[in-house]
Structure 1
Amino acid sequence: MPLIVIDDLSDPRLVDYAHLTDVALKKARGTEHGLYIAESALVLERALRSGHVPRSVLALGNTADEALAVLGAYAADVPVFVGPGEMLADLTGYILHRGLIAAMNRPELPEADALLAGARRIVILENVSDPTNVGAIFRSAGAIGADAILVTPRCSDPFYRRAIRVSMGTALQVPWTRVGDWTETRALLTRHGFHVAALALTRDAVSLRDFDGTRHERLALLLGAEGEGLTSEALAASDTVVQIPMKHGIDSLNVAAASAVAMWALSG
């Protein structure tokens, strides 16, 4: 894999890194499904381990050897562009705090039926718009052992740079896909035998202490957006509403924190 020292920021080979937003990367020309950015050697390694394909790597001089080692371990023969920090910040629009980034080809998302075929514990994210929360939820899902994640159309993209960074690359490892409206999604979940437990503050909510997730061979934890919570359509599609028992007059947690508590409680 060639090591290329950058001497001209207008080099067309650097276009993947030139101040592109997540939305622009998703629509990148010359790709089948767009691009995403993997930030750090750890995230790059996790992306490669998951079978994702890089286009190139952009690295500071002191991390070039690390980039070459990671790529070499997976026989990924792509160019590694190297330059000083100030130059790379001018190119990308941000400082490379973790030493390197990689332009990765987005994989094709799996069909929902195929994704759920062998799953026992899944998470559904409805309209979670903050990529930081999405990334944190994916990290918890990876650590606790969720088999898959479904995201609704208005949910932030798990392959956005911030979501991947916060997830420490687990957004590239935990299988996920997008689903449609609730009529379609409820039919999908019923078809695969999932009991849907929605995390929400409603009058009929059951404490997680009293809800026995082990009674259900297949269980889906449904989480809503920060502030707004779950829509009425989502609640109507649920089988049980659960809540985390709390003290000191506190009635809610950040959705990322709440997801970790609920996933652990329902992990079975």
Structure 2
Amino acid sequence: MHAIEVADPRDARLADYVDLRDVNLRKSLESEHGLFMAEGEKVIRRALRAGFEPRSLLLTERRRAALDGALDGVDAPLYVVSEEVARGLVGFHLHRGALASFRRRPLPSPAEVLRGARTAVVLEDVVDHTNVGAIFRSASGLGVDAVLLSPRCADPLYRRSVKVSMGAVFSQPYARLDDWYGAPAHLRAQGFRTLALTPAPGSVPIGEAVAEGAGRPAALLLGTEGEGLSHRWMEQADACVRIPMAGRDVDSFNVTAAAAIACYELVRPASAPAPPLPAP
């Protein structure tokens, strides 16, 4: 691709990249123009491999060759700027030296995402972009089939979510629920057994609950960072489950660590058994 050198951070051609740390501005701009940002060479390459269409790409001078070999056939402008221009444009030191603006796609419906799925993770009001990205990375890496988001969950395609997920948001099937109130009932109607992750009294070890429902599709419900799941979702769930803890004044993990452990337990029964260890 022919690189276009730009020397002014106020150049209108770079408008997609303005003030990347201003959350309110970015939400408005990205919603209005139907775009999302990918940061870093690896993440950009994964977005391209996933078939997302770039609006433009931006590299700093020292990273001019970072995307060599990835842009064949890409019909989008490639801007090259100095470190100083990049800092003035995005609002911080762009140490990875690579950004790209991509066009969003229409999201599938929850029914489409759940069709044929055996495992799902359902997030209720997880509002931190970092946490959403980390959960997507765990779900994708461990082989969860689908992710559903309540209406107030953070955007998986916000720059921070994309970055933390290392591009897992591009390949992990997901949808956003229109109805928070009836979400557990909707999952049950789709044939899923719902497991609400909570340290509340009466919850059972997640491994036991998964084994009890072996052979039936299962959906893991995860709640917001501070309060956890709402009482409504817990009351409607088929089972309340917990991660067994060793004690020492720790009764639970943060939502990202809990999601990784619980996703492993959710997926493990469907995986091939590990080969036996060799005899000593």
TM-score normalised to structure 2 length = 0.88
Secondary structure of the corresponding residue to residue 211 of structure 1: helix
Of the candidates 196, 199, 209, which is equivalent to residue 198 of structure 1? 196
> In structure 1, what is the equivalent of residue 262 of structure 2?
262
Secondary structure of the corresponding residue to residue 71 of structure 1: coil
* Distance verdict in 2 for CA 1:105–1:176, change over 3 Å: same
Per-residue deviation, residues 52-106 of structure 1 (Å, max 9, x unmatched):
111011111222222242222xx22211111111210101112212120101111
| Pairwise CA RMSD | 1.9
Q: Is 1:235–2:240 an aligned residue pair? A: no
8 Å contact kept, 1:182–1:237: no
> In structure 1, what is the equivalent of residue 278 of structure 2?
none
1:246-261 superposed matches below 5 A: 246-247=245-246, 248-261=248-261
Per-residue deviation, residues 209-267 of structure 1 (Å, max 9, x unmatched):
42234614311011011121100111122111100111123101011000100110111
* Distance verdict in 2 for CA 1:204–1:216, change over 3 Å: farther
Question: Matches of 1:199 and 1:60 in 2, distance apart?
Answer: 44
Secondary structure of the corresponding residue to residue 19 of structure 1: coil
Question: Matches of 2:146 and 2:204 in 1, distance apart?
Answer: 24
Of the candidates 100, 112, 116, which is equivalent to residue 114 of structure 1? 112
8 Å contact kept, 2:209–2:239: no
| Identity, % of aligned positions | 42
* Distance verdict in 2 for CA 1:153–1:252, change over 3 Å: same
| AA matched with 2:227 | E
| AA matched with 1:137 | I
* Distance verdict in 2 for CA 1:261–1:189, change over 3 Å: same
Q: Is 1:174–2:192 an aligned residue pair? A: no
Of the candidates 123, 127, 142, which is equivalent to residue 125 of structure 1? 123
Q: Is 1:141–2:139 an aligned residue pair? A: yes
Secondary structure of the corresponding residue to residue 266 of structure 1: helix
8 Å contact kept, 1:26–1:34: no
1:59-70 superposed matches below 5 A: 59-70=59-70
- Following TM superposition, by how much is the alpha carbon of 1:188 offset from its aligned partner in structure 2, in angstroms? 2.5
Question: Matches of 2:33 and 2:170 in 1, distance apart?
Answer: 15
8 Å contact kept, 2:7–2:85: no
Of the candidates 187, 190, 193, which is equivalent to residue 189 of structure 1? 187
- What residue ranges of structure 2 are gaps of 5+ in the alignment? 270-280
- What residue ranges of structure 1 are gaps of 5+ in the alignment? none
Secondary structure of the corresponding residue to residue 162 of structure 1: helix
How many residues were matched structurally?
265
Of the candidates 206, 209, 217, which is equivalent to residue 208 of structure 1? 206
Question: Matches of 2:24 and 2:115 in 1, distance apart?
Answer: 31
- Following TM superposition, by how much is the alpha carbon of 1:143 offset from its aligned partner in structure 2, in angstroms? 0.7
